[in-house]
Structure 1
Amino acid sequence: MTYLDLVEESKEEMIGTLAEIIRMKSVLDDPVQSPDGDVYPFGKGVHNVYKRTLEIGEHFGFDTTNIDNYGGHIEFTGEDAKETFAILGHLDVVPEGDNWEHDPYGGEIVDNWMYGRGTTDDKGPVIACLYAMKAIKEAGIVPKKNIRLILGLDEETGWKGMDYYLSKAKAPDFGITPDGDFPAINGEKGIVYFSLARKLSENKSGEGLELTSIKAGNAPNMVPDYARAVVKCEDRGTYESIKELGSLFRKENEYKINFKGIGKSLEITTHGVSAHGAHPELGLNAISIMMEFLGKLNFAFEETNDFISFYNKKIGYEIDGQSLGIKLYDEVSGPLTVNVGMMEMNSEAVQIVVNARYPVSFTDDDIYAGLNTLLEKEKIGLIKEKSQEPIYKDPDDPMIKTLMEVYQHHTGDMDSKPLVIGGGTYARATKNIVAFGGAFPGDEDRMHQKNERINLDKLVLMTKIYADAIYKLTCI
C-alpha cells in the first residue's frame, strides 16, 4: 500500500486520537511541580497533552525528545542525519470562552464535524502531520533527511517554550508549520503588542456616576466577545434611567447589552463576536460596544470621562489604526489591522492591551512613531509589550513552489495563490520555515472563537497533503 492509502486506512484511528487530545484541556496555567520534582512550566493541563502526544509518537516507533518540559519533538530519523526537515506545531490552546453549542473539550462529532478547542488551531493539524509521518514509515520508506515534529507548548501566549527548545536543540534546516492556511503562506505581517494606560484620581471633579471597574477579554490576540463594567448608582432612579438608555442603545444598534443590579451598583455586560486577532473584521469587539455606551453617561471623575472619550474618538470600531495615527499599507501584504484584546480598570488605573499587525515593508518603529505623535497631546502612557518582525519569501522560492504543487495536485485548485497573512506562526521562530495549512480556501474561520470545529473529510485530505509534502521534501 502507498502512504496515501495508509492515510485513508488510518482515518478512524486518527479521528479517535484527535478526539482524545481535544478532551485534554491545554490552556496556559501557572507552573506546577510533580510529586517527583519535575516542573511543568506551562501548567499540568498543557503538560498532560504534551506527554500523551510524545507517548503516541513512541508507540508509532519514532524517537522522542523532551527538553525540560518546555517542548520536545517526535523524530523519524533519515539516512542522512545531517539535514533536518521540521514540522513546528503547538498543543496549547486559547481559552474556550462562552456560549458553545458543544463541549469545548468533548471532541464531539456531529454531522461529520468534530467540535472542540484546538480542532483547527493547532491540535488537528499536528495530529494530521503525525499520522502523515506514520503513513510514510508504514509504507516502508526511509527518508533521506530527518523528519522532526516539534511540539510547542505556549504558542498562543509568548513562545517561551519554543525559544527554550531552540536554545537547547539544533535548529532545523527547513520546514513547515501547520498553523496557517493552504495553499501556502509566503509571508506574515509584523506583530506588535502594546498597552495604553492612565492613572485615575480618587478626587471627584464634579457630579455624576462612579465607574468602579471594567474587565474584558481573555487574550490580546482575540477579539473580545464580552466586557463587564460596574457603575455605582446612588438611587433607584439613576439605575432605571441607565437601563432605559441601554434599551434604546440596544434597539438602535442591535448590540447585546445587559444589566444586573448588585446592591447600589449596576453591572453592565456587553457581548460581541470573538475572532482571531489577526482578523478583527470577522468579529465584533465587546470593549468597543461597552465604551460607546459608557460614552453616553456622565461620570464624576474627569479622567474616566477623558479616557472613554479618547477610546471612542481614536479607536472605536476602527481596525485600520487611522485615528491612532498608525494606518499603514503595502501592495504585498495589505493594510495594518488593530485589535483591542483586553481591558481592565479599577479605582487606580485603566489599561487596554492592543495587538496590531502591520505590512511586511514596515517596522514596529513606524507604529510607535505614530502613537508617540498622538499621545504627546494626551495624558495616556504607552507601554511596549512585545513585537515580532514580519517575514517574507518570494512566491518562486523552491519550497513554496513544491508546497503549491502538492496542494494543487490534491485539490485541483489552480487559482489560489500564496498568501501573506496577519497571523503569527512558528515560521518566525527559526529560519526557512513557512506556514502550510491546515485551513483551506473558503473554510469558515472559527479559530479563537466559540464552536471551533474541523470537518473530518478535510482532516483526512490535509493529512494526505502533509504526507505528500513531507515525502517530496525529504524522501526524493
Structure 2
Amino acid sequence: MINFAIEAEKYRKEFLMLLDQWISIPSIYNNETVSAMMPFGADIAQALEWFKNKGEEEGFTTKLVDGYAAHIEYGKGEEYVYVFGHCDVVPAGQGWNGDPFKLLKSGDMLVGRGVIDDKGPLLATFLALKLIRDKALPLKRKIRIVAGGNEENGFKCIRYYFQREPKPTYGFTPDAKFPVINGEKGGMVLQISGKVENNTMLILGGEVHNTIPTYVTVRNCIIHKEKIGDYLKENQLTLEYSKEKNKVKGFTLFGLGGHSSKPEKANNPIEKVLQLLNMELQEKWLEDLTFLFAGDNRDGRIFGLGEKGRCGTLTMVPTILRLEGGRLELTLSVRYPENLDVEEILEKIAAFLKYKGIEGYELKVSSNKKPHYIEMDSLLVRKLYQVYVKHTGDRENPVRVTSAGTYAAEMENAVVFGGEFPDGSAGNAHMVGEYGSEDAFIKSIGIYAEALWELANL
C-alpha cells in the first residue's frame, strides 16, 4: 500500500517553485482590461493560462473555458471527481513588509497574496493529482482540478463553467479549513443607495464586497482629534489628517481589515467612521445609517432576522462606502443561514425602514449564493474525514459549518476540505501578511492525493 505522506515529500521543491511563479501574477479583477476572452481582466486571464500551461507541461488533458476557468484532467470513466479552487485574489492593501506578489519564505512560513487563498491549496491538489499519475494508481472516475477566476467577485466563473461542463459525482474546494466543512451560509451582496442633500463630503472606503477595508478616507470634513481622542483610544483607531497647501481638508480613519465572513476579527473602519461622523455632525442620514448598520445590529436582529439555523445566524457587514457629489452608496456583505432567503431578508428590511420612517433609500441585490448543507453521515463527508484523521491523528476538530461562501454550493454534492489546518499554521486571508506553512502544504498534498484516489474509486 502506498504511503501518501512519504510520497508527498518528493514534491516539496516543485511546490515552492510553482507557488512562487503563480503568486507573482497579481490576479485581481481589473475592469479596465476586461474583454470577451478576458472577462475578469488581463491579470486573471494570465493566471488561468499559467495554470492550464502547467497541466499541459505534465501531459494532462487541459481546457481553458472562455477565460472564466481552466481545468486539468486525468483518468478514465464517465463520472468525475472535482477539486474547484480559484486563482483570483483580493487587492493587497497597504502595510506589507515587501512586495505582496513576490513569495517571501521565512523559515517554514510562506508569505504573499494568494498563498492560502487560494493558490497554495489549489497547487497542492494539482501536485496530488500528479502523485496519483506518477504512481499509476487505478481510477474508476476522472479527476479534474479546476481553477476559477471570479470567486472573490461574484462566482460568475463557476456558474459559467457548469453551463458548459458536467457536474461531479463528488467534489470539494480547498478554500477554507480542514477537516471538513459540510455547510455554509448563503451570501448576498446588498447595495443601499440614496441622495444626501446639501453635502459636499467625499467618503471612500473599501474595494470589494467580501473584504472589510483597513481604512476609510473622508474629504471636505474636519474633525478635531482633541474632541474624539477618547473615542479613538477606546476603539483602537488611528486618525491621520490630509492637507492641501498646508490646510487640513479631511482625514483617513484606520481600523483593522479582514474577511467579511469573520467581522468579529476585524475593526471595521466603515462602521466606525459612520459612528464618528454621526457624533460630530448629527445629520439625519448619518443617524439612520449608524443605527441600521454600524451599531449592534450586525446579526440583523432589529429587522427580525436573528433566528439561528444549522449554519448559524445572519451577519450583515458594511464593506464598501462611497459618498460623492451627494450620492451615497453602501455595500453590505450579508451571510445568512438556510432558514432564511433573499426575499424574506429584503421584505423585513424594507418593512422596518417604513416602520421607522426612514425614506429615500434603494435596496438592490447585486449577487446572491444560496446556503448549502451536506449531511454529516454522507459518504462524501465520512470518507474525507477518515482520510484527514488518518494523516493527522486529529479527532478533536469536528466536521463543522462556516459563514464563508465557497464553490462547494455550486457543485451540489461537495464540501470544503482544507487548505488551512486548524492549528493556526496559516492565516490572514484577505489581510496584510497572508501566510501559510510550507510543511502544512506538503502534508496536504498527501491528504489530497489519498482523498482524490478514494473518491475516484468509491
Calculate the TM-score normalised by the size of structure 2: 0.93
Match of 2:202 in 1: 213
* 1:345 aligned to which of 289, 298, 323: 323
CA 1:272–1:252 in 2, change beyond 3 Å: closer, same or farther? closer
**Cα distance in 2 between the residues matched to 1:454 and 1:186:** 23
Secondary structure, counterpart of 1:295 in structure 2: helix
Question: Structure 1 stretch 14-23 or stretch 249-258: which is displaced more?
Answer: 249-258
Match of 2:41 in 1: 43
Match of 2:106 in 1: 110
Gaps of at least 5 residues in structure 2 are none
Match of 2:364 in 1: 383
Match of 1:207 in 2: none
**Cα distance in 1 between the residues matched to 2:297 and 2:435:** 26
**Cα distance in 2 between the residues matched to 1:164 and 1:253:** 43
**Cα distance in 2 between the residues matched to 1:98 and 1:402:** 41
**Once the 2 structures are TM-superposed, how far is the Cα of residue 317 of structure 1 from its aligned partner?**
4.4
**Once the 2 structures are TM-superposed, how far is the Cα of residue 32 of structure 1 from its aligned partner?**
4.0
**Cα distance in 1 between the residues matched to 2:400 and 2:431:** 22
Q: Which one-letter code corresponds to 1:257 in the other structure?
A: L
Secondary structure, counterpart of 1:39 in structure 2: coil
CA 1:419–1:474 in 2, change beyond 3 Å: closer, same or farther? same
**Cα distance in 2 between the residues matched to 1:76 and 1:138:** 11
Show CA shifts across 1:301-355 (max 9, x none).
xxxx112111222222436334641442335222211210000001231111001
Q: Does 1:185 align with 2:174?
A: no
Secondary structure, counterpart of 2:320 in structure 1: strand
Match of 1:425 in 2: 406
**Cα distance in 2 between the residues matched to 1:360 and 1:314:** 23
Secondary structure, counterpart of 2:427 in structure 1: coil
Question: Structure 1 stretch 383-392 or stretch 394-403: which is displaced more?
Answer: 383-392
Question: Structure 1 stretch 402-411 or stretch 160-169: which is displaced more?
Answer: 160-169
CA 1:458–1:318 in 2, change beyond 3 Å: closer, same or farther? farther
Q: Does 1:20 align with 2:1?
A: no
Question: Structure 1 stretch 130-139 or stretch 379-388: which is displaced more?
Answer: 379-388
CA 1:326–1:466 in 2, change beyond 3 Å: closer, same or farther? farther
Whether the 8 Å contact between 1:145 and 1:474 is mirrored in structure 2 is yes
Secondary structure, counterpart of 2:204 in structure 1: strand
Q: Does 1:472 align with 2:454?
A: yes
Whether the 8 Å contact between 1:280 and 1:319 is mirrored in structure 2 is no
Show CA shifts across 1:159-208 (max 9, x none).
22222221122222221111122110111111111122221224xxxxxx
Q: After superposition, where does 1:63-74 map in structure 2 within 5 Å?
A: 63-74=61-72
Calculate the TM-score normalised by the size of structure 1: 0.90
Q: Which one-letter code corresponds to 2:45 in the other structure?
A: H
**Cα distance in 2 between the residues matched to 1:44 and 1:418:** 38
Whether the 8 Å contact between 2:75 and 2:139 is mirrored in structure 1 is yes
Match of 2:241 in 1: 259
Q: Does 1:400 align with 2:389?
A: no
**Cα distance in 2 between the residues matched to 1:297 and 1:12:** 57
**Once the 2 structures are TM-superposed, how far is the Cα of residue 72 of structure 1 from its aligned partner?**
2.2
* 2:217 aligned to which of 223, 228, 240: 228
CA 1:283–1:396 in 2, change beyond 3 Å: closer, same or farther? same
Q: Which one-letter code corresponds to 1:348 in the other structure?
A: G
**Once the 2 structures are TM-superposed, how far is the Cα of residue 242 of structure 1 from its aligned partner?**
2.2
Match of 2:415 in 1: 434
Show CA shifts across 1:392-447 (max 9, x none).
11100011000110111111111221111111111122321211111122425311
Q: After superposition, where does 1:358-369 map in structure 2 within 5 Å?
A: 358-369=336-347
**Cα distance in 2 between the residues matched to 1:49 and 1:63:** 18
Q: Which one-letter code corresponds to 2:12 in the other structure?
A: K
**Cα distance in 1 between the residues matched to 2:34 and 2:224:** 49
**Cα distance in 2 between the residues matched to 1:84 and 1:455:** 30
Whether the 8 Å contact between 1:23 and 1:105 is mirrored in structure 2 is yes
Match of 2:54 in 1: 56
Q: Does 1:281 align with 2:261?
A: no
Whether the 8 Å contact between 1:324 and 1:370 is mirrored in structure 2 is no
Match of 1:272 in 2: 255
Q: Does 1:242 align with 2:240?
A: no
**Cα distance in 2 between the residues matched to 1:252 and 1:68:** 51
Match of 1:158 in 2: 154
**Cα distance in 1 between the residues matched to 2:382 and 2:98:** 39
**Once the 2 structures are TM-superposed, how far is the Cα of residue 137 of structure 1 from its aligned partner?**
0.7
* 1:451 aligned to which of 424, 433, 456: 433
Gaps of at least 5 residues in structure 1 are 203-209, 233-238, 300-304
Q: Does 1:5 align with 2:6?
A: yes
Secondary structure, counterpart of 1:414 in structure 2: coil
Q: Which one-letter code corresponds to 2:58 in the other structure?
A: F
Secondary structure, counterpart of 1:82 in structure 2: coil
Show CA shifts across 1:277-311 (max 9, x none).
11111111011121122122237xxxxx1121112
CA 1:85–1:420 in 2, change beyond 3 Å: closer, same or farther? same
Whether the 8 Å contact between 2:293 and 2:317 is mirrored in structure 1 is no
Match of 1:205 in 2: none
Question: Structure 1 stretch 250-259 or stretch 92-101: which is displaced more?
Answer: 250-259
**Once the 2 structures are TM-superposed, how far is the Cα of residue 246 of structure 1 from its aligned partner?**
4.0
* 2:191 aligned to which of 188, 195, 201: 195
CA 1:213–1:31 in 2, change beyond 3 Å: closer, same or farther? closer
**Cα distance in 2 between the residues matched to 1:228 and 1:340:** 15
Secondary structure, counterpart of 2:303 in structure 1: coil
**Once the 2 structures are TM-superposed, how far is the Cα of residue 470 of structure 1 from its aligned partner?**
0.5
Whether the 8 Å contact between 2:300 and 2:315 is mirrored in structure 1 is no
CA 1:130–1:250 in 2, change beyond 3 Å: closer, same or farther? same
Whether the 8 Å contact between 2:88 and 2:151 is mirrored in structure 1 is yes
CA 1:62–1:3 in 2, change beyond 3 Å: closer, same or farther? farther
Secondary structure, counterpart of 2:412 in structure 1: coil
**Cα distance in 2 between the residues matched to 1:340 and 1:324:** 16
